[in-house]
Chain A
């Protein structure tokens, strides 16, 4: 049976999956505005911090807890409470909502229906990492693979957005992605070492920049 989920996982993580990820910088646009992100190296520094912080302590850890059987409603509530920057919280539920719809179309399962029911009745917000984890788990994807795939898919869409916004050359984008392999692997490992109290411990610098994006006048991205 092993490996039957491969193509499904690839479809789920394809950057062409229409969740609207192209519309979100998750805070890096604030650094562009401040002149702190302006080339391949400076974006790489931010990306590395984002993977080690937000993707590890929030999204990655939520995925692991879901796999370990923590109630999806409880995790959903914790993400809504922990994602303090409003735009990032809304990005998570916007993309999560799309992922729930797409999942229901192409990878239906009882677990996914249960989560969708919580969302449609207002008892959950529908966060992207949880929608992804519910689908991946129902497809039989092992947690390590799901984590790495989710983290790298997020890194890919953020890098594509940076290539457009900074702008960077396409090869530059590919070098960034290659360099992100190590960060993604380290993050997936770190997620396994964390505990309940670590959920949502994202660095203040990233959060402040995500919050300040609300105030930015001219912007390409919704977050």
Chain B
């Protein structure tokens, strides 16, 4: 028999030093209480009650269109998270921001909170300076909570570097995205098998990446896609048939746009066939005239997945915006 949901929720929150911040039940200034997680329990993965109260890093960015160019109209950062000076990669007016974690890594019980809003008609490319590295988190997991809101006709390309989890690392990434029916959202990321001193793979404890995508409509924001990934190497063999299928790296791409259709899915399918990876993609349902496309790809190298994902986002960038494929020249 299970305990009543409420009782479990209370105890889980008591154990969870990261509970309550950012996605808690209390509404923030924008009244985003609708994102509050339902009363059903979120189990704690650790019994340790580390006393974390405030986020280790916070970043808030609001981008709007001014005189044909996208610019930050509000920017705030605190602690171990900031952005580099913005730049423009082309003549389209899209602004590019690079997120930086000066400490270089996520440690146990670290909480990072990122809030991004792209106002109507504006366009943002958000990337990172280097790979996200999760070091050992002995007592409690590290976590990133990201809230994204796109206005009418707003565009966001989210292109972080790969995620590397070290031995005995636990990490959660919780991203809540709300788009308008006319917004354009593209997100690509790569997860590596991690790093351990002896070179063995999958030595981390847990990776949990959850993306919730909602579409603003007449009666609230309806759920379009729930992209939920959970890898827990210590609990079962994650490498074989039915899980990683013998591959080491995972790439994923999410596109939400009113122009997403089966023809685009078919085109991307043909495009991905040319890469050394095991790839699948499918359309979400259609809500308020917009549709999502989710692609997952397994391979044995970050570079191959970056090439594959780059080809897919390149096709979309060229087709929809007349932009060249992304070349961030970070290295």
Residues of A within 8 A of B (CB): 31, 36, 42, 45-46, 48-50, 52-53, 57, 64-65, 68-70, 74, 77-78, 80-82, 84-87, 89, 125, 143-144, 192-212, 214-215
Contacts and interface: CB of A to CB of B under 8 A. Distances in A.
Contacts of B81: none
Interface stretch (B65-73, B82-90, B130-138, B221-229): B221-229
Contact of A208 (B1, B210, B227, B278): B278
Given A69-B5, A74-B38, A81-B225, 15 more contacts: A48-B242, A68-B2, A81-B224, A81-B285, A84-B225, A85-B280, A195-B8, A195-B40, A197-B228, A199-B228, A203-B242, A203-B243, A204-B229, A211-B282, A212-B279
A194 B2 CA distance: 10
A194 B12 CA distance: 12
A215 B282 contact: no
11 contacts: A70-B38, A80-B223, A86-B283, A196-B40, A198-B43, A198-B228, A198-B230, A201-B228, A205-B244, A208-B296, A212-B279
B280 A197 contact: no
Contacts of B228: 57, 82, 197-202
Contacts of A52: 236
Nearest to A37: B241
B242 A45 contact: yes
A210 B280 contact: yes
Given A68-B2, A194-B43, A199-B228, A46 B280 contact: no
B223 A78 contact: yes
A85 B282 contact: yes
B41 interface: yes
Nearest to A69: B5
Interface in B34-49: 37-38, 40-43
B208 interface: yes
A214 B285 contact: no
A53 B242 contact: yes
Nearest to A142: B1
Contact of B296 (A89, A125, A211): A211
B245 interface: yes
- Classify chain B: how many residues form its interface, as a range: 35 or more
Nearest to B243: A203
A81 B230 CA distance: 17
Contacts of A206: 242-243
A201 to B, nearest CB: 4
A53 B214 CA distance: 25
Interface string B4-47: 11001000100000000000000000000000011011110000
A202 B244 CA distance: 11
Contacts of A70: 38, 40
Contact of A89 (B224, B230, B245, B285): B285
Contact of B208 (A78, A80, A196, A197): A197
B118 interface: no
Contacts of A201: 208, 210, 228-230
A49 B242 contact: yes
A84 B282 contact: yes
A20 B4 CA distance: 35
Nearest to A65: B40
